[in-house]
A and B are shown apart, each in its own frame.
Chain A
Amino acid sequence: MISLWRDMNRRGQVTVALAFVLLLFAPVAATRYVLSVLTLILYFVYVGQAWNLMMGYAGQLSLGHALYVGLGGYVSAALWVHFGIGPWLGVFPAVGIAAAFGAAIGWLGFRFGIEGVYFALLTIAFAEFTRIGFDHIGFVGGAGGLFIPYEQSRLGEWWNLRGSQLFFYYLAFCLAVLAVLLTALLARSRLGYQWLAIREDETAARALGIDVFWAKMKAVLISSSMTAIGGVFYAFYYNSLFPAQLFDMSRSIELILGPIVGGLGTVFGPVVGAFILTPVGELLISLTEKAGINAPGAKAIFFGLILMTIIYLVPTGVWPWLSQRLGFTRRRS
């Protein structure tokens, strides 16, 4: 963390500090709608960062991260709805179960040498199976969905995540900041370097004494746990959970676009990515609505075009390009 700060020059530090302060005081000026968009952005910063650890640093492609969001959300919501166990407690089993799924995927993939796109297929398969499974679990509402009831009396019980938009904004803000700090910390740790080695060349990593299996397992465990916490947030923010919506592959894709556009394997890439893509997505929704285009997929087509343009212009991501153009990073001496 400290080295992250030290590696930036004055300009970079001022920019980051400014962004932090702006976000901290955004609610003072922001309308309810803007605040909800900002909340969504920060949520994507958080889950994007979780995915970035696994793909950007450890080089393991997961296309099924919606699995962990869904599990985290469902476990915590079910505990609350059925047993009155609040999310601050429910987050532990939520993380535990998501991490167990992550461990199963990791073990299968890494133990049996399922790599690259095949590993990605494995992650998709797990998410899909789980979606189908949840369609049939009556306890959590099956395909009909699970709802966290609106209770007037509980409004303001922030300790049960029954807060206002403002509360969820700050919660998302904390999550995003913590995710960035954790990434910065891990990136400069021994484990972080092991991940980079594995990402670059597994054979060479092994020859340098790195236990590749365990390092990759740690990546999946950390990433799935983090993502599950995002799922808890999602459940209590939106109050309704449908398997078809939560576990869908489009959800997994949505969550990885930020880090890809922003810059894989960088600390601020997922932040920049989320701040570009989420507003663009929201803008497209309101634009297509205003223009009266209700052809299904119209939004997706425009979104895809914008995505292609960005990736064509800055193939390694916006953040590396930006930080170089604006001279944020200091040459190490």
Chain B
Amino acid sequence: MSPLLSVVDVGKRFRGLVAVDRVSFTVQPGEIFAVIGPNGAGKTTLFNMIAGVLAPNEGTISFRGERIEGRTPDAVCRLGVARTFQIVRPFPGLSVEDNVMIGALLHRTDMAAARRYAREVLATLDLFDKRDFRASTLTLPDRKRLELARALATDPKLLLLDEVMAGLRPTETDRMVEILRGVNRDMGVTILLIEHVMRAVMALAGHMLVLHHGAPIAKGAPQDVVRDPKVITSYLGQETI
């Protein structure tokens, strides 16, 4: 099977600082792939290059065989790559439903159909009852869900999730894991996620990549990666497993 996303030797420097250093990996259609690493490892920068926010200094990024590095964020999204932001950015003055409606309108021209779909997505994410709330009045967990709902409404083939579990309580995390499983299994959406919450990563990911100072230090199945001494010293420490 040809990969859905392939990142080859991608690098990004901010002036002198090497934020991402020759990173390569592939994501297969239908899988859940996790990127982990300590703060400042370059995870978000990597996402921003895939999503078209930043152009890499070197390397290539292909989505469904098509080169996408250096394209604009909206063009990448229209191809089928949706993303959430680490620091959530819902449209604060709009209702929850209208937030999702905007996503649903990307590939829909019929307003009624878009609204129906937006509500469907809201129901999937337990936000249906709050659809008339202004987004600015939501709690952080709800905002995270809204962010996900909005991205999902654009009918992505690949979903980039930047720490959607951060700040959630354990029960909320479990629910989110369940939701993401459903999204992956039932909607057929491939997921690439950045996550610090190892419990969620272990429960979801089929493959993972560990970044440290921008460089990939381990890659593979989660069970193997977390036993890797390099990963334990640089990131996981003793506490996690």
Which A residues contact B (CB, under 8 angstroms)? 188-190, 193-194, 196-197, 199-201, 203-212, 331-332
| A201 in contact with B74 (CB, 8 Å) | no
In the complex, per-residue mask of B63-90: 1 if CB is within 8 Å of any chain A CB, else 0: 0000000001110011000110100011
Q: What residues of B have a CB within 8 angstroms of the CB of A205 in the complex?
A: 102
| A208 in contact with B77 (CB, 8 Å) | yes
| B102 in contact with A197 (CB, 8 Å) | yes
If A196-B102, A206-B73 touch, whether A188 touches B111 (CB-CB below 8 Å) is yes
Cα–Cα, bound, A331→B72 (Å): 38
| B74 in contact with A209 (CB, 8 Å) | yes
Say if the beta carbon of B31 comes within 8 Å of chain A. Answer: no
Cα–Cα, bound, A208→B101 (Å): 11
Q: How many A-B residue pairs have CB under 8 A?
A: 67
Q: Residue A201 contacts which of B72, B89, B111 (CB distance < 8 angstroms)?
A: B89
Which of chain B's residues has its CB closest to A188's CB?
A: B111
Q: Residue A207 contacts which of B77, B98, B101, B132 (CB distance < 8 angstroms)?
A: B77
Cα–Cα, bound, A200→B150 (Å): 14
| B109 in contact with A190 (CB, 8 Å) | yes
Which of chain B's residues has its CB closest to A331's CB?
A: B132
Q: How far is the CB of B89 from chain A (nearest CB, A)?
A: 4
Q: Residue A200 contacts which of B85, B91, B97 (CB distance < 8 angstroms)?
A: B91
Ordered by A's residue number, 6 sampled pairs between the chains whose C-beta atoms are within 8 Å are A190-B105, A196-B102, A204-B85, A206-B74, A209-B74, A332-B97
| A193 in contact with B132 (CB, 8 Å) | no
Say if the beta carbon of B92 comes within 8 Å of chain A. Answer: yes
Q: How far is the CB of A58 from chain B (nearest CB, A)?
A: 13
Q: What residues of B have a CB within 8 angstroms of the CB of A193 in the complex?
A: 98, 101-102, 105
- Nearest first, the 7 closest Cβ-Cβ pairs linking A and B are A200-B91, A209-B77, A209-B106, A204-B89, A206-B73, A209-B78, A197-B102
If A206-B74, A207-B51 touch, whether A200 touches B94 (CB-CB below 8 Å) is yes
User: Could you tell me which residues of chain B, from 138 to 181, have a CB within 8 Å of some CB in chain A?
Assistant: 150-151, 154
Say if the beta carbon of B37 comes within 8 Å of chain A. Answer: no
Q: Residue A196 contacts which of B77, B94, B150 (CB distance < 8 angstroms)?
A: B94
Cα–Cα, bound, A133→B224 (Å): 73
If A190-B109, A193-B98 touch, whether A207 touches B90 (CB-CB below 8 Å) is no
Say if the beta carbon of B216 comes within 8 Å of chain A. Answer: no
